[in-house]
């Protein structure tokens, strides 16, 4: 793979993932305990401290194993004094777990801190700038764990977000880096400290006839800790080392018992290694790597075109990998050097190899004047599980649900209703203005939580000068989560899986200001797991629905198996007020906005029982310059107010919409010769805005039909509206394009449009755009199939 061919791939990968990354290694650090024992001397040492000199045949076996291990020395926390103080450790039948855990409870965090301090010093920024902490170890079982103690030892912020990974075996380091990749790429400005630390005191035991696995453990494993700082978009003072372009994990079938580990009363034991481990790894490793590269569109004609960061399980495994890939002698040099100098330190080992590789490249290690640009990191462990580099996704819409309150008022009757309940019949000119506005709104009816009885109970709501915020918030505190739950229940029912399978929750609303908010209450109403990860988006205006979907895209694509419930719910009681001369904005609000909630379940890699609706291929957000005051909203003592709409809003949107759309498509390498080649999911702010978009993009009459139908049936429901349009579009496509007008998802020569766009806009003025794709779009009657016209 040449640099020229790879450069295009880098651009495509970054653009497709829409990350601020890719995640980049910014610094590394390693540490080992003080006790160092040469491999040649280890059999004498080991059989001496365990008082097993009489087992001469086993000692000879260990000598042979050490000679062939590819290791020259190893480091250990335990020494003769510690072992003498714990005579129960050599006896595997002795209940020694508590004593071992007491040792590692202090020693593992201290060793981890030592490696971390080196990484932080190399990084050059204060430890307080660390935003996330990922810790992996097989040496412990504490709650709170190593991560908690490390915060104290390093002086990290109390708000640092921690992830603790226990008992992942030798692939723990790669697994921790995979988690860090997601965190770094999906949290702007994040700096993730990854630490792996291991102490073999957890599995130290005396040799015993019939337990050759004990000799394998004693002949290969050593103690050490590795730390890496990972972040996207390195600053001028940061020194990028390597970029993580993708990450994947693969389980080799029928290898559940090939490598096993478990905590027992005697420590970390129960290990077993398959006799043909080298064959199992060798026969599967190339397939795993090809699976990692192929989705990125990267051709790898020669594995020697890469640099290699491989966990050196054993010297035999490295030879097997050499043979399978026909690697040049120096390709695994970094792995072999780490194995030689330190032995196998479980998950920490791959960080040592990373450190060695980066040092080598920094020293200018070259071939024919060139440094390899692309490389692979690989680790394997219990399972057998391979950790390599590849992205999952794309995020896919799996189910949609919508809900509205009970009160429904036709648009024709609204002016009479509104001026009646506000006791404003005397304002005849304003009433006529509202009638005309309603007639031209493109809306036939709207739904509301508030009714005449509620308004009669709160006369303070009518007067914008009255301090009514508390009373309004009391209403929405209950009503918004209930409406959101109604929409969510429909989505979950359509999805067909239990609510407890939801892993993430993203809630958006302009109707509230509570801590905890609607997200917290929704967990209770829906019976979600208490561990569901919640994100609460307040006050984003009309683009809130698209913004929530953008967040969900990152969560779904960067968390394996994640199923994200996105909910937008709005109640206009927050801005209900009586008409008033000189405040035409009040009439605009009363003539356009309605109440509703929309819910979407988003996940990557749909399962056999799931029905993918649309894929989110990319997501972007754009602010139109000098429009800060074009649309504004704020909470006031009188409710949700302060809104203003620029007189030339339609012109502002129309003059920028095509540029925003092109910005969304161009990074994907998709040429869009005609906007009519797409299906359209557009937030219908007003009928006038839809007409403006029609005109600018020269759309066919039916392209915005889904948006117009939602506007007609419900009005503008802020962020929830675009979810209603998504629902309408998906239902139409599921019906096979319907009969009559094409509905923006046109049927041509028996084909439905494959590609589409979602667009919403709101205060800022901010555009949210997404490129959508219909996956496997063969409809149930078999009449239609996918055709890509792009």
Which residue matches tokens 């990922």? 134
Which residues are within 8 A (CB) of 668 and not within 5 positions of it... i.e. 6 or more apart?
A: 12, 15, 16, 617, 618, 771
Angle at 115 between CA 110 and CA 121, to 5 degrees: 120
Report the 10 Å Cβ neighbour count for 344. 26
Is residue 736 within 8 A of residue 781, CB to CB? The reply is yes
Is residue 501 within 8 A of residue 398, CB to CB? The reply is no
**Dihedral over alpha carbons 659, 664, 670, 673 (to 10 degrees):** -30
Question: How far is 509 from 98, CA to CA, in rounded Å?
Answer: 50
The tokens for 50 are 């365990």
- In 3D space, the residue among 613, 594, 625, 557 whose CA is nearest the CA of residue 730 turns out to be 613
Give the side-chain half-sphere CA count within 13 A for 292. 24
Report the 10 Å Cβ neighbour count for 498. 10
Question: How far is 680 from 657, CA to CA, in rounded Å?
Answer: 13
CA pseudo-torsion sign 669, 185, 175, 121: positive
Enumerate the β-bridge partners of residue 191: 231
H/E run at residue 710:
helix 705-714
Which residue matches tokens 């005449």? 452
Is residue 653 within 8 A of residue 761, CB to CB? The reply is yes
> What is the DSSP secondary structure assignment for residue 465, as one 8-state letter?
T
**Residue 773 three-state SS:** strand
**Dihedral over alpha carbons 662, 666, 668, 674 (to 10 degrees):** 60
Question: How far is 592 from 575, CA to CA, in rounded Å?
Answer: 12
- In 3D space, the residue among 406, 439, 453 whose CA is nearest the CA of residue 591 turns out to be 439
Which residue matches tokens 């590795």? 226
Question: How far is 658 from 622, CA to CA, in rounded Å?
Answer: 12
Question: How far is 601 from 612, CA to CA, in rounded Å?
Answer: 10
Question: How far is 481 from 521, CA to CA, in rounded Å?
Answer: 6
- In the set 66, 170, 542, 730, the catalytic residue is 170
> What is the DSSP secondary structure assignment for residue 367, as one 8-state letter?
B
Instruction: Specify whether 170 is catalytic.
Output: yes
> What is the DSSP secondary structure assignment for residue 616, as one 8-state letter?
E
Question: How far is 731 from 717, CA to CA, in rounded Å?
Answer: 20
How many H-runs (helices) and E-runs (strands) does the chain carry? 23, 30
- What angle in degrees, to the nearest 10, is found between the helix axes of 56-67 and 42-49? 150
Buried b (16+ CB within 10 A) or exposed e, 273-312: beeebbebbbebbeebbeebbeebebebeebebbbbbbbb
The tokens for 496 are 């067909």
**Cis amide bond preceding 516, omega within 30:** yes
- In 3D space, the residue among 277, 261, 272 whose CA is nearest the CA of residue 211 turns out to be 272
As a whole number of Å, the end-to-end CA separation of the chain is 28
Question: How far is 523 from 577, CA to CA, in rounded Å?
Answer: 32
Which residue matches tokens 């890699």? 605
H/E run at residue 128:
none
Report the 10 Å Cβ neighbour count for 106. 10
Active-site annotation, residues? 170
């Amino acid at each position: 793979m040449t640099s020229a061919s790879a450069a295009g791939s880098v651009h495509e990968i970054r653009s497709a993932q829409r990350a601020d990354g890719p995640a980049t290694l910014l610094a590394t650090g390693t540490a080992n305990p003080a006790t160092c024992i040469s491999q040649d001397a280890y059999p004498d040492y080991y059989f001496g401290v365990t008082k097993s000199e009489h087992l001469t045949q086993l000692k000879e076996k260990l000598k042979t194993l050490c000679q062939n291990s590819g290791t020259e020395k190893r480091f250990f926390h335990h020494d003769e004094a510690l072992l003498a103080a714990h005579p129960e450790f050599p006896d595997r039948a002795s209940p020694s777990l508590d004593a071992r855990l007491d040792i590692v409870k202090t020693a593992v965090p201290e060793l981890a801190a030592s490696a971390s301090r080196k990484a932080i010093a190399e990084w050059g920024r204060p430890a307080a700038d660390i935003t996330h902490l990922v810790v992996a170890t097989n040496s412990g079982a504490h709650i709170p764990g190593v991560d908690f103690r490390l915060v104290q030892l390093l002086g990290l912020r109390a708000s640092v977000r921690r992830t603790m990974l226990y008992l992942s075996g030798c692939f723990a380091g790669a697994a921790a880096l995979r988690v860090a990749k997601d965190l770094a790429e999906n949290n702007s400005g994040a700096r993730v400290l990854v630490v792996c630390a291991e102490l073999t005191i957890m599995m130290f035991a005396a040799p015993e006839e019939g337990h050759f696995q004990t000799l394998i453990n004693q002949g290969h494993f050593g103690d050490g800790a590795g730390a890496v700082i990972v972040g996207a978009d390195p600053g001028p003072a940061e020194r990028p080392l390597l970029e993580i372009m993708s990450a994947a994990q693969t389980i080799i079938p029928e290898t559940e018992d090939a490598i096993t580990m478990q905590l027992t009363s005697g420590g970390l034991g129960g290990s077993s290694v398959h006799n043909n481990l080298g064959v199992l790894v060798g026969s599967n490793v190339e397939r795993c790597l090809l699976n990692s590269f192929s989705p990125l569109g990267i051709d790898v004609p020669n594995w020697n075109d890469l640099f290699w960061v491989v966990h050196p399980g054993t010297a035999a495994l490295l030879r097997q990998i050499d043979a399978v890939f026909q690697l040049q002698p120096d390709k695994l040099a970094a792995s072999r050097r780490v194995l030689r100098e330190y032995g196998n330190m479980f998950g920490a080992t791959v960080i040592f190899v990373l450190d060695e590789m980066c040092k080598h490249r920094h020293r200018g290690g070259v071939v024919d004047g060139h440094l390899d640009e692309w490389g692979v990191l690989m680790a394997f462990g219990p399972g057998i599980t391979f950790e390599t580099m590849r992205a999952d996704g794309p995020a896919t819409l799996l189910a949609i649900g919508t809900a509205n309150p009970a009160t429904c008022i036709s648009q024709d009757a609204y002016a009479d209703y509104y001026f009646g309940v506000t006791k404003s019949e005397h304002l005849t000119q304003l009433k006529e203005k509202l009638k005309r506005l309603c007639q031209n709104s493109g809306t036939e009816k709207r739904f509301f939580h508030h009714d005449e009885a509620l308004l009669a109970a709160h006369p303070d709501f009518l007067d914008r000068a009255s301090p009514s915020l508390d009373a309004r918030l009391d209403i929405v505190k209950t009503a918004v989560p209930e409406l959101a739950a109604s929409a969510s229940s429909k989505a979950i029912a359509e999805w067909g899986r239990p609510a407890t399978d939801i892993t993430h929750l993203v809630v958006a609303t302009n109707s509230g200001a509570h801590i905890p908010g609607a997200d917290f209450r929704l967990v209770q109403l829906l019976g979600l797991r208490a561990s569901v990860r919640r994100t609460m988006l307040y006050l984003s205006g009309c683009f809130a629905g698209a913004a929530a979907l953008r967040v969900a895209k990152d969560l779904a694509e960067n968390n394996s198996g994640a199923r994200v419930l996105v909910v937008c719910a709005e109640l206009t009681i927050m801005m209900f007020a009586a008409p008033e001369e000189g405040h035409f904005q009040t009439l605009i609000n009363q003539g356009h906005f309605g109440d509703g909630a929309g819910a979407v379940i988003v996940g990557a890699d749909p399962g056999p029982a799931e029905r993918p609706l649309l894929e989110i291929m990319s997501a972007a957000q754009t602010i139109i310059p000098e429009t800060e005051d074009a649309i504004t909203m704020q909470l006031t003592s009188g409710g949700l107010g302060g809104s203003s709409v620029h007189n030339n809003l339609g012109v502002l949107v129309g003059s920028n919409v095509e540029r925003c759309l092109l910005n969304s498509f161009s990074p994907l390498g998709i040429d869009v010769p005609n906007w009519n080649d797409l299906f359209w999911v557009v937030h219908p702010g007003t009928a006038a805005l839809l007409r403006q978009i029609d005109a600018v993009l020269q759309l066919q009459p039916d392209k915005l039909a889904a948006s117009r139908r939602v506007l007609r049936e419900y009005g503008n429901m802020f962020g929830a509206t675009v979810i209603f349009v998504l629902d309408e579009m998906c239902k139409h496509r599921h019906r096979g394009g319907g009969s009559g007008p094409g509905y923006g998802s046109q049927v041509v020569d028996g084909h439905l449009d494959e590609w589409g766009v979602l667009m919403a806009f709101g205060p800022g003025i901010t555009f949210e755009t997404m490129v959508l794709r219909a996956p496997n779009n063969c409809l149930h009657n078999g009449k239609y199939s996918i055709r890509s016209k792009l």
